[in-house]
Amino acid sequence: MPLLAVVALAAGTYAFRLAGPVLRHRLRLPGRLRHLLSVAATVLLIALVATSALTEGHGFAGWARPAGVLVAGILTLRKAPFPLIVVLAAATTAVLRLLGVP
Amino acid sequence: MHSLWRTLDRGTLRDIALVCLADAMVGAAFGAIAVSGGLPPWVPVVMSLLVFAGGAQFAAVGVVLSGGAPIAAVAAGLVLNARLLPFGFAIGDVLGGRWWTRLTGAHLMTDEAVAFVLRDGDPRRRHAAFWACGLGLFVSWNAAVVLGALAGRGIGDTDALGLDAAFPAVLLALVLPSLAERNVRNAALRRACVLGALVAVAATPFLPAGLPVLLALIGLVLATRAPAPLPDREVR
């Protein structure tokens, strides 16, 4: 992979990251739009949870990973401490794989 | 910087440290996979420093290792990172007002840092959580990639440890509590999230990685019909 490709990816990524903080400061966004942007961030994060839990490439990720994420969801709603949630999610997935679940 | 640590409670710092640890293990795997696939060690190391976005790094290296053109690797990574644009508009205010905090803070923006910001309503704690998570992840991720690249094949299979479930679990644990609070505004937000997630998963078989998550913004049509937004300090 040539250095130029790494730099191109880095420059594009940085532009995505910088546009919001710079433009937000220049433009005074109305409250309604600010609210919608914060909703958009939550919607994107939940979509990221769904796709990274359920899919791998263009297909299904198998049952072990969504099972671990489901455990995380249940523990979160039961107000379990954060480290317990993350460790038990990974452990569920790892144990299921150990048992031969894909 | 000193006030940053005083603003955050121990629980938040502990949570951030755990996320850094989980991501470091994935970072070590990234370095090892890139090098054992045949890339020189500087590629994963420089890429992690300059790009600093795990998903896009895996995607770009994956394209190159499977024989794809560098331009295809760049395109795959950029599509995955396009979500950083709306993230920047949503939480850009937490970087602070000075030009240099915006320039450096922007580079530290990740899914995890955004989720830590959204978890808290207090501006000072949001600011502190962003910088602690951003700096912590930058140091731990890059150090781990160096170690992974040096170790090469020595790094084990992170899927066997269930670490692929840790990333969605972390984001869910950070975002879900505020979503679960029962109030009128949240009902619209929940509907928007459910529709967005359904659209993203349904689109995954047909679109390049990264685009399905952006399509989730269709869910916003359900949020715009919400009652007019109240000031930040509304009754919960």
CA closest to A59 among chain B residues: B205
**pLDDT band at residue A93, thresholds of 50, 70 and 90?**
very high
Q: How many CB atoms lie within 10 A of CB A94?
A: 20
B173–A72 C-beta distance less than 8 A: yes
Nearest CA in chain A to B204: A58
Instruction: For residue range B97-147, list pLDDT tens digits in order.
Output: 899 999 999 999 999 999 999 998 899 999 999 999 999 999 999 999 999
Q: Which residues on chain B are in Cβ contact (under 8 Å) with A43?
A: 192-193, 196, 216-217, 219-220, 223
Q: Answer whether B60 sits within 8 Å of A9, measured CB to CB.
A: yes
3-state helix, strand, coil in chain B (%, to 5): 80, 0, 20
Residue A60 is predicted with a pLDDT of 96
Contact between B156 and B36 under an 8 Å Cβ cutoff? The reply is no
Distance CA B186, CA B189 (A): 5
State in Å, rounded, how far the first CA of chain A is from the last one: 32
Cα separations in angstroms, B207 against B8, B80, B83, B201: 40, 12, 15, 10
Cβ atoms within 10 Å, residue B70: 18
Q: Specify the 3-state DSSP secondary structure of A55.
A: strand
- Residue B117 to residues A57, B53, B145, B215, B220: CA-CA distances in angstroms? 29, 18, 25, 23, 20
pLDDT tens figures, A27-72: 888 888 888 999 999 999 999 999 999 999 999 999 999 999 999 9
Q: Are B132 and B8 in contact, with CB atoms under 8 Å apart?
A: yes
Residues on chain A touching B198 (C-beta within 8 angstroms): 50
- Interchain proximity B229–A32, CB inside 8 Å: yes
A13 with B180: Cβ contact below 8 A: no
3-class secondary-structure state, position A60: strand
Nearest CA in chain B to A50: B197
pLDDT in tens, A64-81: 999 999 999 999 999 999
Token code pair at residue B204: 């995954």
In chain A, positions 43-62, which contact chain B (CB-CB < 8 Å)? 43-55, 57-59, 61
CA distance, residue B200 to nearest chain A CA (Å): 6
pLDDT tens-digit map of B138-182: 999 999 999 999 988 666 678 889 999 999 999 999 999 989 988
**Bridge partners, residue A60, by sequence:** A55
Instruction: Tell me which DSSP letter residue B217 carries.
Output: G
DSSP one-letter string for A67-79: HHHHHHHHHHHTT
Chain A stretch 60-79, residues whose beta carbon is closer than 8 A to a beta carbon of chain B: 61, 64-65, 68-69, 71-73, 75-77, 79
Residues B62/B65/B66/B70 CA torsion (nearest 10 deg) = 80
> Per residue in B44-77, pLDDT tens?
999 999 999 999 999 999 999 999 999 999 999 9
Domain ranges in chain A are: 1-44, 62-102
Query: Model-level pTM?
Result: 0.90
CA atoms within 13 A of residue B97's CA, in its CB half-sphere? 1
Note which residues in 42-61 of chain B have CB less than 8 A from chain A.
43, 46-47, 50-53, 56, 60-61
Q: Classify strands A55-56 and A59-60 as parallel, antiparallel or unpaired.
A: antiparallel
Q: Helix (H, G, I), strand (E, B), or coil: what is residue B108?
A: coil
